[in-house]
A and B are shown apart, each in its own frame.
Chain A
């Protein structure tokens, strides 16, 4: 099976812009979670979708949003970018609805100038 794919792999944006990142889970996986990884804060949970419904949201401002489509693909959007949003954004998919193993994609590295 193909793994989790994320596009784009690299992005450079300027403050105030918005960005949309995409994630395609492993075939058959209906759960998609998003994480932000920075050197200072480590891996932090953003949100999780299962069957097009957001079930959990981490402690991030409303500028961070996401959605999931009927084919389980997911997108996350960050509006009004700030310098502190520079990070590696990781998507993970899981074959179960909960408490299961998560498999990570390669990530999207976002640099905000």
Chain B
């Protein structure tokens, strides 16, 4: 069983819609969670971090964490074509800088 699971997609949404990306993790003791965006041929770029149960909002992005269900999600409101990329979920299971990454969900936002 992989430590972090994501649906590989592609997830296609029309411009202006809400994109919902999901991630589950296996280590129940994990404390910190991150979403990265990766454009083709580029390195991952941090979008958000979340540490506590509930929602965290930053502009058009909202991260949601449910530790009981071992589930993290990312909502992108008013999706733009420039949001088209692969979104990586990362989980840090302990107090060291060692992340487990999901395989990524490819998002296509159609104009």
Contact = CB atoms under 8 A, between A and B. Distances in A.
B94 A90 contact: no
B3 to A, nearest CB: 10
Given A42-B102, A42-B103, A100 B97 contact: yes
Interface in A13-34: 31, 33
B70 interface: no
Contact of A98 (B45, B90, B95, B100): B95
Interface of A: 31, 33, 35, 42-45, 48, 50, 55-56, 58, 88, 90, 92, 94, 96-107
A79 B104 CA distance: 29
Contact of B31 (A94, A96, A99): A99
A106 B43 contact: yes
- The interface residues of chain B, by DSSP majority, are classed as loop
A44 to B, nearest CB: 8
A98 B46 CA distance: 17
A59 to B, nearest CB: 12
Contact of B95 (A88, A99, A107): A99
Contact of B94 (A31, A44, A98, A104): A98
